Amino acid sequence: MLEKMSLKSQFILSFVLIMTLSLIATIVTYFGGYLLFLKLQYEKIYPANYYEKQIPAMEEEIKKKGVSLFNETEKPSLEMLIPSEGVLYQIMDENGSRLYGTEEGKLIKSKEDLYDKINTTFAMNGRYVKIVPIFDSQGTLKGAASFSYTLTPHYAREQDKMWIMPLFILIAFSPFLYILLFTWLFSKKLSENIRKPVMMLIDASRKVREKDLDFHIEYTANNEVGRLCQSFNEMKNELKNSLLAQWRAEQERQEMVQALAHDLKTPLSVIQGYAESLLDEPSGDLRKREKYLRIITDHARKGLKLIQEMLYASEMERPTATLRITPVDLSSFLMEKKESYEMIGKGKEIHFNVEVVYEKPDQAICPVDVEKLDRILDNIVGNSIRYTPEGGTITIRAQVTHDHVRFTICDTGKGFSKKDLSNLFQKFYRGDQSRSTKEGHAGLGLYVAKKMVEMHGGNMTAFNADKGGACVEFELYFNGGLYTSKKLPKT
């Protein structure tokens, strides 16, 4: 969950979690330390007033022994009674002078001071001192005993102090330790959340530098880093598409040059051969010379046509290619085209049918690019004339609606093969053997026609008629390509 959040939210949530978990852990630790103290109390640790509570028993013993305590022979028995680890004692005379004991130094300044402090407890040098009087059998004050102690916890054994004290110090400072611990854990997690996509970006940058664009950054978090990775993927895809487009353009240029060189080879070879023959026989037969010149002219025209097709195809692929929309009377335009096509197909006695259907009577004028429509029809009908047998029929049908005109051109030839239907509109495609021609062509006619149709916002399709023959259908939108390509039902 943390990984998918924004960086700001990750920092805030990490801080809140660090403080919350540290507080909870501290409470648990302090409670555990309290239970541990209760368990160790009187076993390993004595409470602060442990030795203070033993003073009354030692005071009672002092009163029993009385003046006999002035004799140092009582010292061993007295020290057995007094715990040496927690209590210091001193036996003094009536003037407060030290006789013996574990407490060094003078506690009482004078006899009067002794009288003032008998049966009292006072503080001295960070310790508490209890003065117990010593009387003789007649009740006369002969001296006193002092017991010095501190009100702090004590350890039952010195060895226990070696581990108990560090343990409780650790418990006391546990809040800071928990803050450090959770800060380290969450900073590590936060660092990993950022490091993972950053390493992906670094690796992706290396691949881009090495021109390897076949990768995708698999990081989809909806945060700043995720959006950065997404932007990097989009940039990579755009770069890849741009490079592929450049590569395809370069490939197409190479193919165009190769195709042009291949197609020009035959007519240029023929022109060269006949020209050399004319040079070899400058005063030859006039009819023979006229025949040679006609052949040279025909092949020169073929070569020029190939070059024009290449140039026109290149022009169509430029992003600056535009339409020149003008109003045209479609019926008159198609009738003129019919007359020109009849002249071309006169040698094969091909019959042409032209039919124009209007959705409304007032739609006779259509806004299209006449020059491009003329070339589209020439390329399609030219193919149909080439492949229609003698005495065949070519039908041109136009359906005009409020926003587009659809053309359907069908012939009575052999139709398209499966290979033709799959590749018909590809650049340099020349068709299979069933529709080949001895005249030769660059394979750009239908490709160029389709590009022009797409500039009008339409689409071009090819199919075989139910009764045989090839059909090509396309539509031109009157708004000059502002409409997207639409698939219209066949009629």
Residue 436 pLDDT: 38
The segments of the chain whose pLDDT lies below 50 read: 432-440, 481-491
Topology classification of domain 213-321? Helix Hairpins (1.10.287)
Residue 383 pLDDT: 86
**Structural domain boundaries in the chain:** 2-46+159-198, 52-152, 213-321, 326-477
Domains 52-152 and 213-321 agree in fold: no
Residue 484 pLDDT: 33
What is the C-alpha to C-alpha distance for residues 44 and 37, in angstroms, rounded to an integer? Answer: 9
Residue 256 pLDDT: 63
| b/e sequence 36-70, b meaning 16+ C-beta within 10 Å | bbeebeeebbbeeebbbebbeebbebbeebeeebb
The string of DSSP letters for 340-409 reads HHHHHTGGGT-EEEEEEEESSTT--EEEE-HHHHHHHHHHHHHHHHHHSPTT-EEEEEEEE-SSEEEEEE
Residue 293 pLDDT: 82
* Residues whose CB is less than 8 angstroms from the CB of residue 121 and which lie 6 or more positions away in sequence, other chains included: 128, 129, 130, 131
Residue 320 pLDDT: 57
393-400 and 351-358 strand pairing: parallel
Q: According to DSSP H, which parts of 67-173 are helical?
A: 75-81, 111-117, 158-172
Q: What is the CA radius of gyration of the chain?
A: 57
Q: According to DSSP H, which parts of 405-490 are helical?
A: 418-423, 445-455
For residue 277, the Cα-to-chain-centroid distance in whole angstroms is 71
Class of the CATH domain delimited by 326-477: alpha beta
Class of the CATH domain delimited by 52-152: alpha beta
Residue 276 pLDDT: 78
Q: How many residues does the chain have?
A: 491
